[in-house]
Amino acid sequence: MKVMIACGGTGGHLFPGLAVAEALRTRHHQVRLLVSEKAVDQTALAPLTDSSGRSAETAVQTVPAVGYEGSARLIRFCFRLVKATRGCAVACDQFEPDVVLGMGGFTSVPALVAARWFRPRGTVTLIHESNAVPGKANRWAGRFADRVAVGLAECAQFFRRSPVTVTGTPIRAALRGGKVADARARLGLRPGPFTVLVAGGSQGAHAINGAVAAALPWLDGRREMLQFVHLSGPRDEPFVRESYRKNAFDAKVMSFCDQMELAYSVADLVVARSGAATLAEIAAFGLPSILVPYPHAAGNHQWHNARVFERAGAARLVDQAQLTGGRGGNGQCVAALIAGLLDNEAERRQMARAARALAVDDATERLTTLLEDCGQ
């Protein structure tokens, strides 16, 4: 079977797509990835490519960005959509996929439209939506896709015209193997202290970076008890690194981490955005979390994602305004949240159990099997 997966643009679209591609290859299917030209895609795909930039296992093709920017730029949007769709149609004609899977975001729309053009040859279209509330691309694509898969049952209500299957959100095989025993040593961390993982998503989160940096002076009396793994994104890496140095905290600061199994293995607590892929990974490792939804996400979907975890007792939900408002208040707020969970082991354990209960361990297999059913 041949499967084309459109999955680029953000880590939340890319990494679940990579997980499905990995599973499909294991089952001896052919896969072609459609990704964006954005740095996050190219950085994440770098370990999969050879020196010439080609993947030895999976064909990779870039799709230009076609995000909708409002009615004032409608003509530009339509022009770029047509151009991208033509490119995807050529890719379809060359690859002849049995199934085209869209993981959401701007890369999936031209691929799904092209697959409709390719219809005479029997290509089946399927979309996967990881979030509790679907994004614009999947809301639109759901009107004509043959099948819809969702990561959270709460999302099924938004798709009325296609059969919906709850699969969970796929995560990569390396993240499904449990904690890595020597992860602290491999990251250069001390074996004893309480470890906080700060993860703002694949491109970092400036508001979270600033709030955690401002919290460090308020945590001064707990310096020996605490250490951090901080995924800052490239823009804030120097500032974040200097903040830990100035406040004399042990920290492993990285702009991007391509071995998230190590980061989750060392974490006792996660401070993160609430993208669906991040939450699926947090659940897989059964970690308590402080979730700060990105306030400008389409449909406020990160807040709805975080609410699922908060209602289950797996996370504390904090609005970004609480971290950034008030002179010095942001640092004190974050410090109080971290210190409160550091001091309350019973609550952390309960949150960890609740998070683990939300995990769908076979999500990758469920979606892969659904693709195989569609391709028959």
The domains located in the chain, with CATH, are 2-174+361-375 (3.40.50.2000), 178-357 (3.40.50.2000)
Higher pLDDT, 8 or 165: 165
Q: Give the rounded distance of the alpha carbon of 47 from its chain centre.
A: 18
157-162 long-range Cβ contacts below 8 angstroms, 24+ apart: 158/129, 158/133, 158/134, 159/129, 159/134
**What pLDDT was estimated at residue 324?**
72
pLDDT at position 200 is 83
Three-state secondary-structure class, residue 283 = helix
Beta strands in 130-268 (DSSP E): 147-150, 164-166, 194-199, 226-231, 250-254
The whole-number pLDDT of residue 192 equals: 92
* Residue 45 reports pLDDT greater than 80: no
pLDDT recorded at residue 39: 63
Among the ranges given (36-50, 230-244, 320-334), the one the predictor scored with the smallest mean pLDDT: 36-50
Is residue 224 pLDDT above 50, yes or no?
yes
Separation in Å, CA 98 to CA 35, 117, 202, 264: 19, 13, 30, 36
pLDDT band, very low/low/confident/very high, at 328 (cuts 50, 70, 90): very low
| Calpha distance 229→140 (Å, rounded) | 38
